[in-house]
Amino acid sequence: MSNYHIKNLEEYWQVYRKSIQNPEQFWEEIAEEHFLWRKKWDSVLEWDFSKPEVSWFKGAKLNITENCIDRHLATRGDKTAILFEPNNPKEEAQHITYKQLHARVCQFANVLKAQGVTKGDRVCLYLPMIPELAIAVLACARIGAVHSVVFAGFSASALATRINDCDCKLIICSDGSYRGAKTIDLKSIVDEALEDCQSVSKSLVIKRTNGNVTMKEGRDIWLQPLLDVADTSCPATIMDAEDPLFVLYTSGSTGKPKGMVHTTGGYMVYAAYSFKNVFQYTEQDIYWCTADIGWITGHSYIVYGPLVNGATTVMFEGVPSYPDFGRFWEIVEKHKVNQFYTAPTAIRALAKENLSFVEKYDLSSLKVLGTVGEPINEEAWHWYNDNIGKKNSPIVDTWWQTETGGIMISPIPYTTPTIPTFATFPLPGIQPALLNENGEELKGNQVEGKLAIKFPWPSMARTIYGNHQRYKETYFSAFKNMYFTGDGARRDAVGYYRITGRVDDVIIVSGHNLGTAPIEDAINEHPAVAESAIVGFPHDIKGNALYGYITLKETGESRNHDNLRKEINQLITERIGPIAKLEKIQFTLGLPKTRSGKIMRRILRKIAEKDTNNLGDTSTLLNPEVVQNIIDNALV
């Protein structure tokens, strides 16, 4: 029996039991058999959740790009590693083989070195979904630089915050990006951000749209001419297993975004292991994840997980609606995609459109369908299952987080029977627990509570960049000796997990994690605003949308409310990005507060959800009178 690749339910249970009874032996066997280490570890696992400190494969030496590329060259050199599908269907797809990927990563790494980037330096990547993004990620890893990819939909100010938080030395960006019919001028966003970033001395610019850009003397350099003369080999910098590989920002319920730090050895092992099992990848398969590399899903399941396994991974530059709503399915047919991994929000948007967009295409190559990022509702699940999978492709509803680095709870296709809305069983090595309000673990099945993880797993984030105390408070303080996820979950009669959603102030909109605090901060910058609170409410396509309750400094009708709404959303777009715009804005006379001054979001959430019959305990409110006023004027 192989620990690495599970093929049936009996095997799953055997492997799962082993992974719990003897985690170190379990992961050691996997690490030994399937990866290239320059030196083996001194210990498999050392951990103490009270500090919290976790290290996997301590003392081991490796470079993740040798695992992603070099060791495949002998057997898979001419196999396509990255299959790039451009935004415009008339532009030809690019097949980048493992050999070509090796040469391009080495050239890029040599350019970075020549620009003074060395091991441990942070490099910011702000790029569209073009092959250079994956290549830049790998080039950083090649020389031990820590990549910090920022999703290219974030605004200049959000980009600057992220650059400054981890003191990036250099940024890699492009002139622009294509998204459907739109061309976006990314370089000017970068220029604006860099005005506030003292640490960045160089910016390497990739040509994609050929738009007009301003190149700042001494700082901005076109990348291509440097690549053209760079050497196609570059020795990999040998890293410790616990050296940081990347920083990736995620929103918290309060404060600025958290730079989650992932390290090298454990992350590699877990990303590869989970990819292999959750997608049941076999050698000839074409695998496609529609996420952006700006999110963790892209890191683990477009770049690292697939490449460590020697897979062919599709990178798509565009959007599902361009040139029409059949684009995803056209690509599946064109490249004979076998595994397809997307977000519920995309499924819901496409399910609204005419079925002829699906029926035009031959989807018979599909073997596994996946979803990630938010709960999938039953209707969307069935649409996906019936029309895309034709009831023949199991759907893996994968639950995990930026912090977890890899998929934690998910069916294994052709192994775990699936039920809509259930993420089902934990993967081997993952030990979930459900806890009640008193922090007591709920044993047995048919229970619901807060979801925590009891034991370390190899790809867990090790800290928050520059703020270990916050890491401890956020994840290891709610429950003793456990990692707290911020999600709630139910365990059903057979032990399947169903994620019930966030139990904190993080709101998931179209699969994107949005903290309430930074959005409220942006709103409060408006000179007319006294204070604000935002909550999520159910939305047909986005899963959740944002509802803002805003109290103005001067009440009355002296200002045009529609203009104010526009100005506020404009501010949010500038500070964070269009994804954080408010769907509804209600101007209120006040916000319900506890005697200690805390806004009672629970009440605001119920009003936004149109569930005002049972507002729960309002006895601790300082100003109960505002509640009725808010209900009377609710935008529902």
**Cβ closest to ligand PRX, residue 345 vs residue 387:** 345
Report the nearest approach of ligand PRX to the CB of residue 501 (Å).
6
Per-residue DSSP letter, 580:
G
Among 123, 170, 230, 508, binds ligand PRX (CB under 6 A): 508
Q: Is 438 helix (H, G, I), strand (E, B) or coil?
A: coil
Per 3-state DSSP, the chain is made up of helix, strand and coil in percentages (nearest 5) of 30, 25, 45
Please give the helix or strand (H or E) that residue 430 lies within, else none.
Answer: none
Element (H, E) at 313: strand 312-316
Residues 556-595 that bind ligand PRX (CB under 6 A): none
Tokens matching residue 409: 């709870």
Cis peptide leading into 323, omega within 30 of 0?
Answer: yes
* Among residues 367, 502, 542, 581, the one that binds ligand PRX under rule CB under 6 A: 502
280 counts as binding ligand PRX under rule CB under 6 A: no
What one-letter code names the amino acid at 481? Answer: N
The least CB distance from residue 459 to ligand PRX, in Å, is 12
**Nearer to ligand PRX by C-beta: 60 or 388?**
388
The number of beta carbons lying within 10 Å of the beta carbon of residue 165 is 20
In the complex, the smallest distance separating the C-beta of residue 301 from ligand PRX, rounded to whole angstroms, is: 9
**450 contacts ligand PRX (rule: CB under 6 A):** no
- If the CB atoms of residues 372 and 582 are measured against ligand PRX, the closer one turns out to be 372
The least CB distance from residue 515 to ligand PRX, in Å, is 11
Comparison of 508 and 522: residue with beta carbon closer to ligand PRX: 508
Binding window for ligand PRX (CB under 6 A); candidates: 96-104, 134-142, 170-178, 481-489: 481-489
Provide the minimum distance between the beta carbon of 140 and ligand PRX in the complex, in angstroms, as a whole number: 21
Rg (CA), the chain: 24
> Shortest CA distance to 623 belongs to which of 604, 602, 586, 597?
597
Nearer to ligand PRX, 144 or 486 (CB): 486
DSSP letter for each residue of 14-76:
HHHHHHHH-HHHHHHHHHHHH---SB--SEEEEEETTTTEEEEEET-EE-HHHHHTGGGHHHH
- Would you say 486 or 577 has its CB closer to ligand PRX? 486
Give CA separation, 166 vs 138, 261, 263, in Å. 19, 10, 15
Residue closer to ligand PRX, measured from CB, 294 or 428: 294
Contact region with ligand PRX (CB under 6 A), list: 139-147, 210-218, 483-491, 520-528? 483-491
In terms of DSSP bridges, do strands 432-435 and 447-453 run parallel, antiparallel, or are they unpaired? antiparallel
**Sole binder of ligand PRX in the list 296, 452, 509, 517 (CB under 6 A):** 296
Residue 256 CB neighbour total at 10 angstroms: 18
Is 372 a binder of ligand PRX (CB under 6 A)?
yes
Closest listed residue to residue 112, CA positions, set 81, 82, 147, 72: 147
| Tokens matching residue 211 | 């738009």
Work out whether 513 is an interface residue with ligand PRX (CB under 6 A).
yes
Q: How far is the CB of 391 from ligand PRX (least distance, A)?
A: 21
| HSE of 576, CA atoms in CB hemisphere, 13 A | 26
The answer to the question of residue 345 lying near ligand PRX (CB under 6 A) is no
- Scanning 28-36, 41-49, 125-133, 484-492 for contacts with ligand PRX by CB under 6 A, the matching segment is 484-492
Question: Contact at 8 Å (CB) between 202 and 115?
Answer: yes
604 binds ligand PRX (CB under 6 A): no
Q: Which is nearer to ligand PRX, 177 or 513 (CB)?
A: 513
Which of the ranges 353-361, 437-445, 480-488, 592-600 carries the binding residues for ligand PRX, by CB under 6 A?
A: 480-488
The 388-427 contact track toward ligand PRX, x by CB under 6 A, reads ---------xxxxxx--------------------x----
To ligand PRX, the closest distance from the beta carbon of 402 in angstroms equals 3
Min dist CB 180 to ligand PRX, Å, is 23
505 binds ligand PRX (CB under 6 A): no
Q: Does 86 bind ligand PRX (CB under 6 A)?
A: no
Counting contacts by CB under 6 A, is residue 320 touching ligand PRX?
no
436-440 long-range Cβ contacts below 8 angstroms, 24+ apart: 439/478, 439/479, 439/480
Residues with Cβ < 8 Å from 177, sequence gap 6 or more? 127, 128, 152, 183, 184, 186, 208, 209, 317
- Alpha carbon distance 201, 222 (integer Å): 14
497 forms part of the interface with ligand PRX (CB under 6 A): no
As measured in angstroms, the least distance from the Cβ of 499 to ligand PRX is 4
By Cβ distance, which residue is nearest to ligand PRX? 402
| Phi, psi (deg, nearest 5) at residue 342 | -145, -170
Total residues in contact with ligand PRX, by rule CB under 6 A? 21
Cβ proximity to ligand PRX: between 234 and 423 the closer is 423
Does position 486 interact with ligand PRX (CB under 6 A)? The reply is yes
Task: Provide the sign of the torsion angle of the four alpha carbons 631, 503, 597, 553, taken in this order.
Answer: negative
Interactions with ligand PRX, residue window 118-177 (CB under 6 A): none
Least separation, in Å, of the C-beta of 500 and ligand PRX?
8
Least separation in angstroms between residue 559's CB and ligand PRX is 36
| Shortest Cβ 576–ligand PRX spacing (Å) | 14
Chain centroid offset of residue 261 CA: 13
CB of 240 or CB of 292, closer to ligand PRX: 292
Peptide bond into 52 cis (omega under 30): yes
Q: Which region, judged by CB under 6 A, interacts with ligand PRX, from 124-132, 210-218, 369-377, 387-395?
A: 369-377
Half-sphere exposure of 102 (CA within 13 A, CB side): 21
Helix axes 131-142, 98-114, angle to 10 degrees: 60
Based on the shown chain and the rule CB under 6 A, indicate whether residue 487 belongs to the binding site for ligand PRX: yes
Q: Is 375 a residue that touches ligand PRX (CB under 6 A)?
A: yes
Provide the minimum distance between the beta carbon of 155 and ligand PRX in the complex, in angstroms, as a whole number: 18
- CB 62 within 8 Å of CB 38: yes
Q: What 3-state DSSP class applies to 111?
A: helix
Contact flags string 216-255 toward ligand PRX, x per CB under 6 A: ----------------------------------x-----
**In the block, which residue shows the tokens 């269009």?**
578
- Map tokens 């459109």 to a residue: 353
Give me the residues that bind ligand PRX (CB under 6 A), please.
250, 296-297, 372-375, 397-402, 423, 485-487, 499, 502, 508, 513
